Amino acid sequence: RGQPAGRAEGSSGAKAGGGGSLKNRTAPEDPSHTVACERGGLTMIELMEAMKKDALEQESLMAIICELVSETVQRNDARNRVSKLTLFEGEVAPIPAIAYVTRIRKYGGCSECCFVVGLIYLERLKKCEP
71: Cβ contacts below 8 Å, ≥ 6 apart: none
Mean local confidence (pLDDT), 88-98:
77
Contact between 60 and 25 (Cβ < 8 Å): no
**Model pTM?**
0.52
Is the pLDDT reported for residue 99 higher than 70?
A: yes
Nearest to 54 by CA among 27, 77, 21: 27
∠ CA 2-60-78 to the nearest 5 degrees?
155
**What would the pLDDT profile of 38-71 be if each residue is shown by its tens digit?**
677 778 888 888 888 887 777 778 888 889 888 8
Is the pLDDT reported for residue 117 higher than 50?
A: yes
**What would the pLDDT profile of 2-37 be if each residue is shown by its tens digit?**
444 433 333 333 333 344 444 444 445 555 666 666
Q: Where are the domains of the chain?
A: 1-57, 59-128
pLDDT score of 107: 92
pLDDT score of 114: 86
d(CA 34, CA 30) in angstroms, rounded, equals 9
Return the HEC string of the chain: CCCCCCCCCCCCCCCCCCCCCHHHCCCCCCCHHHCCHHHCCCCHHHHHHHHHHHHHHCHHHHHHHHHHHHHHHHHHHHHCCCCCCHHHCCCCCCCCHHHHHHHHHHHHCCCHHHHHHHHHHHHHHHHHCC
Contact between 42 and 1 (Cβ < 8 Å): yes
d(CA 40, CA 59) in angstroms, rounded, equals 29
